[in-house]
């Protein structure tokens, strides 16, 4: 299976996908040019930078793109694509906890710290979310401040707000 870097055109900008062949290892919002092919005006397809041929994408990337299509169409509420989000034991515990937040709902960083059995680790939970390499699938956008305010999101707070509003309208 091939490893590589691919791009997906979403309603909130390009998403860069990476894999190791058998699992998605990264899903990042991308604000730059995706290599030799400019996909800003392209249809929502995957693009392999090396030769601009989506047919060369590994099955895990094809599945991820199909699931992203479903998510952004409002029909997919839970991802099933195989992922590998490697981090420390604590980070991985935090990322697994993200998967328990229901679609269209939010939890506070404090809620998440309590959920993983580390009620005083609120800042560390925020740090783990910051190091989440597979956004949307590991829904760190669903974690907000205890006061209900949107805080920190690697893809930009405007994307976090968009994702939360989108999910609320598609529950």
Range 147-150 contact pairs with CB under 8 angstroms and sequence separation of 24 or more:
none
Q: Taking the model in full, what pTM does it have?
A: 0.85
Active site residue 140: yes
19, 64, 94, 140: the active-site residue: 140
**Domains, the chain, with CATH or none:** 4-72 (no CATH), 89-169 (1.10.10.10)
pLDDT averaged over every residue in the chain: 86
Q: What is the pLDDT of residues 95-132, one digit of tens each?
A: 999 999 999 999 999 999 999 999 999 999 999 999 99
d(CA 60, CA 164): 26
Residue 149: is its pLDDT beyond 70? Answer: yes
Q: What is the pLDDT of residues 52-65, one digit of tens each?
A: 445 568 889 989 99
Q: Which of 1-5, 15-19, 64-68, 76-80 has the lowest mean pLDDT?
A: 1-5
Phi and psi at 92, nearest 5°, equal -65, -35
């Amino acid at each position: 299976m091939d490893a590589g870097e691919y791009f997906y055109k979403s309603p909130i900008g390009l998403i860069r996908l990476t894999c190791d062949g058998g699992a998605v290892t990264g899903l990042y919002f991308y604000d730059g040019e995706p290599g030799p092919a400019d996909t800003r005006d392209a249809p929502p397809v995957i693009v392999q930078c090396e030769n601009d041929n989506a047919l060369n994408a590994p099955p895990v990337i094809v599945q991820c793109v199909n699931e992203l299509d479903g998510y952004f169409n409002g029909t997919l509420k839970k991802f099933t694509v195989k992922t590998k989000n490697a981090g420390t034991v604590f980070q991985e515990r935090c990322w697994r906890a993200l998967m328990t937040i229901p679609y269209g709902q939010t939890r506070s960083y404090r809620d998440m710290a309590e959920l993983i059995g580390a009620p005083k680790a609120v800042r560390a939970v925020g740090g783990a979310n910051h190091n989440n390499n597979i956004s949307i699938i590991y829904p760190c956008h669903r974690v907000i401040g205890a006061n209900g305010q949107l805080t920190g999101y690697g893809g930009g707070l405007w994307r976090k707000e968009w994702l939360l509003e989108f999910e609320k309208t598609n529950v």
